[in-house]
Amino acid sequence: MDSSRVLLALEEGKKWRERQRRIQERIRQLERRRAYLLRELEHAQKKISEYAGIVMGLKESLLTKEAPPTPHIHVR
């Protein structure tokens, strides 16, 4: 077997291992980013739920308030 082909094969193997390492690192980064975004989403959903309750309470209090009394006008 030709020594140049052996060296080429070794370089190709090294190149592919390096590429695999970069891909695995990128996958780890994306997994961390996904976990962070899921935590942020959960936090936002809790806030939405909290604010929805507040809004519903305000709407109910506005609807249940008595209308202001109308002034009595005396017609002669």
Rounded Cα–Cα distance for residues 51 and 68 (Å): 28
**Per-residue pLDDT tens for 58-68?**
888 888 775 56
Residue linked to tokens 């140049």: 4
Instruction: Retrieve residue 40's tokens.
Output: 């942020």
Instruction: Retrieve residue 46's tokens.
Output: 């809790």
The pLDDT, as a whole number, for residue 69 is 61
The pLDDT, as a whole number, for residue 8 is 94
Instruction: Retrieve residue 42's tokens.
Output: 């959960």
- The pTM of the full predicted model, rounded to 2 decimals, is 0.61
**Per-residue pLDDT tens for 9-64?**
999 999 999 999 999 999 999 999 999 999 999 999 999 999 999 999 888 888 87
